[in-house]
């Protein structure tokens, strides 16, 4: 069996970057500048020069992916300006936060750049964030790269980068245009993140030594027609490119807290502060604890607030499902995997994930 490779997403300004930049358990580091300004990029590149990381670095460029360029202040509804002009039949639902939030798009103005919503999503929308419109009438117009992305490409290329990620690849012309900018000798990871991208892989993609498909599941899982189709999509990508990378939505149980339950009883005594006790939820089915029962029997207090609490407890042990998923991905042919941005933001979370992944691949 070929070696199983793990990649992560980091920035040099992260406090834990030096630790993982030279961690030989990793096969590479992706730099994602989606929400980074040009001056910030300058500082990051300078830090790379100082640190001289041993692991290969890959720079992620945004192509036609829709992102919020500006949020227009409005007390009554959400208005945003996009990085690309679009057309779509309205009203239609727009997804935010990787599908965890949504709002109804009412109309589009300013040549397809300004989106006006009926109300807004639950959470705050910020410049730089991506969004999803799953309606089949959607068309993203304009050039593949914005002026801002072109400036980043030139800056990073001049710095000496030869390894790249290209987002939302949907046709051969996307690849051709990008190679014109970065050079035909560049290594490019082609992120497949949409239905159109999957159609391109199925009908047009031709494997070449410097081109590698990426099953970018963070967005792809949101963009496909039905969630269960993700397995078919993953099989398609690895069948078309045996060197393909599967990215995001791995080991996510190490990110989220485990939700536990408990029972709190508050007893009013009349002699000062209330007496509180936090007990296992099984207490609901058992008698009142002895100390509280005697207090009540003596007439010194009464239960005034039985309440079920949800308590968040961080569990560093990955779920069984996470390990089984990695095993399935290996079984269908994937040998290169990449953790999602969220998991890489904090050193303690990334450390748990890398340790777990490394232990798993050694024993698999």
136-173: per-residue pLDDT in tens?
Answer: 999 999 999 999 999 999 999 999 999 999 999 999 99
For 26-77, write each residue's pLDDT tens digit: 999 999 877 788 889 999 999 999 999 999 999 999 999 999 999 999 989 9
At residue 299, does pLDDT exceed 90?
Answer: no
First to last CA, the chain: 10
Cβ-contact 213, 288 below 8 angstroms: no
Could you tell me the pTM of the whole model? 0.84
Dig out the tokens for 2 from the structure. Answer: 């070929």
Rounded Cα distance between 123 and 214, Å, is 29
Residue ranges per structural domain of the chain: 5-64+144-253+318-363, 68-137, 258-313
Rounded Cα distance between 19 and 14, Å, is 10
The pLDDT value recorded for residue 7 is 98
At residue 275, does pLDDT exceed 90?
Answer: no
Helices H / strands E in the chain, number of each: 11, 18
The pLDDT value recorded for residue 56 is 96
Closest of 6, 19, 2 to residue 354, by C-alpha: 6
Q: How confident is the model at residue 279 (pLDDT cuts 50, 70, 90)?
A: very low
Give the percent of the chain with pLDDT over 90: 75
Rounded Cα distance between 285 and 278, Å, is 15
Cβ-contact 236, 202 below 8 angstroms: yes
Rounded Cα distance between 305 and 362, Å, is 52
Rounded Cα distance between 89 and 99, Å, is 20
Q: How confident is the model at residue 265 (pLDDT cuts 50, 70, 90)?
A: low
Q: What 3-state DSSP class applies to 140? A: strand
* Topology (CATH) of 5-64+144-253+318-363: TIM Barrel (3.20.20)
């Amino acid at each position: 069996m070929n070696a199983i490779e793990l990649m992560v997403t980091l920035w040099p300004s992260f406090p834990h970057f030096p630790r993982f930049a030279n961690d030989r358990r990793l096969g590479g580091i992706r730099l994602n500048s989606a929400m980074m300004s040009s001056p910030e990029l300058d500082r990051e590149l300078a830090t790379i020069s100082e640190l001289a990381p041993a692991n290969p670095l890959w720079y992620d460029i945004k192509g036609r992916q829709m992102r919020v360029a500006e949020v227009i202040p409005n007390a009554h509804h959400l208005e945003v300006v996009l990085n690309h002009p679009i057309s779509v039949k309205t009203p239609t639902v727009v997804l935010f936060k990787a599908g965890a939030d949504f709002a109804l798009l009412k109309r589009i103005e300013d040549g397809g750049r300004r989106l006006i919503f009926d109300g807004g999503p639950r959470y705050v929308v910020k410049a730089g964030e991506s969004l999803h419109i799953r309606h089949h009438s959607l068309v993203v117009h304009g050039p593949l790269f914005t002026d801002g992305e072109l400036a980043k490409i030139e800056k990073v290329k001049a710095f000496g980068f030869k390894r790249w990620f290209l987002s939302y690849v949907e046709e051969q012309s996307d690849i051709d245009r990008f190679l014109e900018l970065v050079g035909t000798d560049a290594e490019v990871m082609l992120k497949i993140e949409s239905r159109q991208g999957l159609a391109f892989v199925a009908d047009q993609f031709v494997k070449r030594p410097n081109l590698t498909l990426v099953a970018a599941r963070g967005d792809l899982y949101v963009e496909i027609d039905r969630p269960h189709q993700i397995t078919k999509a993953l099989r398609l990508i690895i069948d078309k490119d045996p060197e393909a990378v599967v990215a995001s939505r791995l080991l996510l149980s190490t990110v989220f807290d485990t939700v536990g339950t408990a029972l709190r009883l508050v007893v009013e005594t009349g002699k000062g502060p209330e007496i509180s006790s936090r007990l296992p939820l099984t207490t609901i089915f058992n008698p009142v604890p002895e100390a509280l029962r005697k207090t009540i029997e003596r007439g010194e207090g009464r239960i005034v607030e039985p309440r079920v609490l949800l308590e968040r407890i961080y569990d560093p042990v990955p779920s069984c499902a996470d390990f089984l998923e990695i095993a399935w991905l290996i079984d269908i042919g994937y040998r290169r995997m990449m953790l999602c941005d969220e998991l890489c933001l904090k050193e303690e979370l990334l450390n748990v994930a890398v340790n777990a992944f490394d232990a798993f691949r050694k024993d698999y």
